[in-house]
Structure 1
Amino acid sequence: MRRTEQSSPAGEQALGAAESFGAVLCDIDGVIRFFDTSEVTRLERAAGLPEGTTESVGFAPENDLPLLLGTITREEWADSIVRGLLPRVAAHEAEALARAFSMADFRVDETVVDLLRQVREHCPLVLVSNATRWLDDDLARLGLTDLAHSVVNSSLVGVAKPDRRIYEIAAERAGVAPDRCLFVDDRQENVDAAVAFGMTGVLHRDATDLRTALLPITGRAGTAPPGD
């Protein structure tokens, strides 16, 4: 079993001395992409709901998993959020919240994108995401269609992290044995599953974690920009 690395003095030393990896497998949401839910928060306050209520409904397994496995549409997902919010709020408030949440805008962490572009110069880069069927359109909006050599999208392959099968698919796409793959994700359960499969896992908290983890590949520490 491979190790899980985190950003700490000991972890940095271990990674600095580690062998170079043959491929990097990286999550998208929570690592590369971040959603703006400020409008959802505003609507929740106006409706008298605790902040985060809509997110808890939208990401409840019975609502979220069918979306991530590609078995329902965005509209059907929004309808499930409406049902989950009723009768705590009026129908028109539930519909507004569901629309704002399911259509939320997003941004990228440019520092992470720059680090991953460096990776492309050295080894295969595969994005591994529990994502929707419209992920390709989202990546095009962000100008990231050429970021990775391959994208493993749960809604297209029909299996989601932390299921072992999605890690098998990702390693196959990379053309590298699991024990030479570096897996990066912001969720501990997904990292743990990668480690159990034989990969080296990195729990992502900020770009510093990724920069340190990639040193065996990129060979340069770099400096964090202001606000990183």
Structure 2
Amino acid sequence: MKKRQLVLDIGGVLATDLDNFWFTLSEEAQLPLEIVRSVYKQEIRQNLWNGNITEPEFWDWLTNTFPNIKLDYLKESLTNSLYPLDGINYLKRWANHADIHILSNHRAEWIYPFLNPFKHFLSSIIISSEVGVAKPDKEIYEICMNQIGGNLPILFVDNKSENLIPASDFGWNTILADSSNQWINTVENEIVR
């Protein structure tokens, strides 16, 4: 019997988003969070997640854009902003019932240290900075399907509804990860039942 295919996002599903990092940057730059996020979004976000710039280029951009910051403190803040959420505790159990795949908009340099202790539960890892395209671009879902090898059905969990739409278009079953973790019960019912 073929195993189910479970595709999981990282931020907001298995680990925290980088919200604490952005709060720290806002404080360091002495600017409102909305302004910091807006400048980031307009100037560098897409290139960062798509891997079109290097991690050192991101840090250079930060120091040039926000000259008052303490770079070493921010690098430490970024590392400390990634901590596990409850979903990570289910990987071992779910791996007994499904092939687990990661599909995440992230930087490989930041996320692999977090994922390393769990790699043996994962069938594939697709990080946007490595493949050059980010969700919700349909191409990243095609890359994921090629990794999976066309085995359907696919169950996909993401914390952003706009990332679920292309997955649904490809025929994947989707679950929106909520902060109250009801999504975990849904995955349990779908995968373990």
Q: TM-score, normalised by structure 2?
A: 0.81
Instruction: Indicate whether 1:65 and 2:65 are aligned.
Output: no
Instruction: Indicate whether 1:152 and 2:133 are aligned.
Output: no
Letter of the 2:83 partner, please give it: R
Cα-to-partner distance string for 1:9-33 (whole Å, 9 max, x where unaligned):
xxxxxxxxxxx98211110112111
Structure 1 gap ranges (5+): 1-19, 86-90, 220-228
Change beyond 3 A, Cα 1:66–1:102: farther
- Aligned match of 1:33: 15
- Aligned match of 2:183: 209
Of Structure 1 and Structure 2, the greater helix share is in: 2
Q: Which whole-Å CA distance do the structure 2 matches of 1:62 and 1:43 have between them?
A: 16
SS in 1 for 2:6: strand
Cα-to-partner distance string for 1:53-84 (whole Å, 9 max, x where unaligned):
434433x1541221222221222112223444
In the TM superposition, 1:17-166 aligns within 5 A as: 22-35=4-17, 38=20, 41=23, 44-45=26-27, 48-58=30-40, 60=41, 62-85=43-66, 91=67, 93=68, 95-96=69-70, 100=74, 104=78, 105=80, 106-109=82-85, 111-134=86-109, 135-140=111-116, 143-166=117-140
| C-alpha displacement of 1:34 | 1.2
Q: Identical aligned pairs, as a percentage?
A: 27
Structure showing greater radius of gyration is 1
Instruction: Indicate whether 1:196 and 2:163 are aligned.
Output: no
- Aligned match of 2:156: 183
Structure 2 gap ranges (5+): none
Count, aligned residues? 188
Cα-to-partner distance string for 1:113-143 (whole Å, 9 max, x where unaligned):
1223222101211000112131323323xx2
Change beyond 3 A, Cα 1:22–1:41: closer
Cα-to-partner distance string for 1:177-198 (whole Å, 9 max, x where unaligned):
45x1111111111111111121
- CA RMSD between the two structures: 2.8
